[in-house]
Amino acid sequence: MYIYNVTSNIDESIHNQWLTWIKEHIPQVLATGKFKGATLTRVLVEEDLGGFTYSVQYRTHSREALDEYLKDHAETLRMDAVKLFGDKVLSFRTELQIVDEYTVNFN
């Protein structure tokens, strides 16, 4: 399995607007058919830059699906945020491959 991780630092002045937008944006990314699910998380660190940091982790079963997303959809969907928020959102992207997973059952 692969994860396409997008980490974004959000300026305080647009935080609520961005949070509403990202909750609509994630289903648009999933609608490309390249991912099987996504998780939106808040990064719990105090940022030197200020603002709020979030991570969206999109999960897919194949490298091919991720590559197709990057080639066919990523730029258009990225530009939505740039048009709306400009430099008030700073993002970086990481492509990850899951090597192994472990779980613990608590009773």
**Which residues, in sequence order, are bridge partners of residue 38?**
58
**Could you tell me the end-to-end alpha-carbon distance of the chain, in angstroms, rounded to an integer?**
28
User: What are phi and psi for residue 23, nearest 5 degrees?
Assistant: -70, -20
Dmax over CA atoms of the chain, in Å, equals 48
Average pLDDT over residues 56-82: 94
The model carries a pTM of 0.90
Give the CB-side neighbour count of residue 27, counting CA atoms within 13 A: 4
Contact criterion met (CB below 8 Å) for 97 and 2: yes
Fold for 2-97, please state it. Answer: Alpha-Beta Plaits (3.30.70)
Looking at residue 13, what is its pLDDT? 95
Q: Where are the domains of the chain?
A: 2-97
pLDDT tens across 21-59, in order? 999 999 999 999 999 999 999 999 877 778 999 999 999
CA distances from 17 to 33, 34, 51, 85 (A): 26, 26, 13, 9
The three-class DSSP label of residue 19 is: helix
> Do 57 and 3 contact (CB within 8 A), yes or no?
yes
